[in-house]
Amino acid sequence: THRTGVRRLERLEAWHSGLADCFLGDLPPAFPGRENALKLLLAGRRANTWLGYASKVKRWHDFCDSAGIPAFPARPEHILCYLGYLQEEGRIKASSLQPYLSALNSWHVDMGLPKPAVGHAITMLRRGYGEVQAEDDDEAVRARRPIPAFVMRAILDLGSSTGSVLVRRAATASVLCYAFMLRADSCVRLKHRHVTVTTRGITLQLQVKTRGRDVSTTVHRPGCDEVYHLIRLWISACSADGAASLWALPTRPRDLFASPCVGKWFQDCCDILALRPPQGEKWVGHSHRSGGATGALSIDASLPVIARFGVWDNIASVQAYLDASVGPSADALLFFEHLLKPSLDLARAQLAQERAAAS
């Protein structure tokens, strides 16, 4: 509601004020550089992170108000009871608890206090949270799985053949997310100026979670295959200026999009195609990213190549996204053949010709 949003922003402003008091002390507002230093401190977290934290801290305040306890500083025993309250509510799954704890921890650290939501008791309670959830609702126990290549091939075909602009947008976003191994937030941030389409392929300029916005990160996908043609078809149909969102409809060029849109668009495509994961599995969140990385691995793309193309900071961080048990397929080859090194036979023949000509 509007009132809830106002309260969240009020708490966010109070958080910013407390952070300024903690880190900048009692310097007068007119002190040289102070105003900009605070601006840079606040820019150290992106706007959606601040808003997400603010909503989680509001939940904590609501709990404390109902229990008649002070919200700050948070006492460890109160946080344990808070988690018990969330579990009783039945709205928050065990896998979704971390943002609630991260918000409380970040809030306290910003005020110069230690993190309150850490330690042995928190770890035990979170484990118990998951165990009880599994006993109460076995439907909630589903493993997050990479999206299989055959699913994305079906969505690629759907996007290429549909006459609906909404379906084509949903399919194109899903295919682009998978083919470039993108996070959902990187996908929805794309504007038309961030996408370069030439006769040699497609290049994206990305804003990624692990790198600052002052660092330009580009990814090139060579070739003019089915993926290329679908993305080019969508861009041509939009005819938008460079500042517009890549996913804005031609009739609504100012629309902006949040990360959950990618999951919804993917689900819309699956509903049309009647595609479902096996019982006990689900495709959500990073499933595009893990699906792309797993598809590339299945056709023997090397880990360094996958890490570079998918913009992972190091090879070790790729491991959590991979399912090495997935075998190769023609569908995976369609999406990721460009990541394979060509045969050395051609290079050997060329070298032999150069040596023969020189002798």
With tokens 């609501």, the residue in question is 62
How far apart, in Å, are the Cα atoms of 288 and each of 63, 145, 322?
36, 10, 12
pLDDT band, residue 141 (cuts 50/70/90): very low
How far apart, in Å, are the Cα atoms of 133 and each of 65, 104, 119, 189?
26, 23, 21, 35
pLDDT tens track for 60-118: 999 999 999 999 999 999 999 999 999 999 888 888 899 999 999 999 999 999 999 99
The reported pLDDT for the residue numbered 136 is: 63
Give every CB contact of residue 352 below 8 A, 6+ residues apart in sequence. Answer: none
Check if the beta carbon of residue 92 is closer than 8 Å to that of residue 100: yes
Better-predicted residue by pLDDT, 5 or 19: 19
With tokens 């080859």, the residue in question is 333
Give every CB contact of residue 297 below 8 A, 6+ residues apart in sequence. Answer: 303, 306, 322, 324, 326
Check if the beta carbon of residue 108 is closer than 8 Å to that of residue 116: yes
Q: How would you label 138-153 residue by residue, b for 16+ Cβ within 10 Å and e otherwise?
A: eeeebeebbbbbebbb
Question: Which amino acid is residue 226, in one-letter code?
Answer: E
Whether 2 has a pLDDT exceeding 50, the answer reads: no
What percent of the chain lies above the pLDDT cut of 90? Answer: 72
Whether 304 has a pLDDT exceeding 80, the answer reads: yes
Compute the CA torsion angle 300, 304, 307, 312 (nearest 10 deg).
160
Annotate 40-84 with DSSP letters as a single string.
HHHHTS-HHHHHHHHHHHHHHHHHHHHHT---SSPPHHHHHHHHH
Return d(Cα 130, Cα 141) in angstroms, integer. Answer: 9
pLDDT tens track for 199-243: 999 999 997 766 666 567 899 999 999 999 999 999 999 877 888
pLDDT tens track for 18-33: 999 999 988 998 999 9
Whether 337 has a pLDDT exceeding 60, the answer reads: yes
Return d(Cα 193, Cα 13) in angstroms, integer. Answer: 33
Mean pLDDT score, 261-267: 95
How far apart, in Å, are the Cα atoms of 307 and each of 194, 293, 339?
21, 8, 11
Q: How would you label 165-186 residue by residue, b for 16+ Cβ within 10 Å and e otherwise?
A: eebbbbbbbbbbbbbbbbbbeb
Residue 286 — φ and ψ, nearest 5°? Answer: -85, 15
pLDDT tens track for 312-336: 988 999 998 999 999 999 999 999 9
Check if the beta carbon of residue 338 is closer than 8 Å to that of residue 220: no
Check if the beta carbon of residue 324 is closer than 8 Å to that of residue 297: yes
Note the residue count of the chain.
359
User: N- to C-terminal Cα distance for the chain?
Assistant: 82
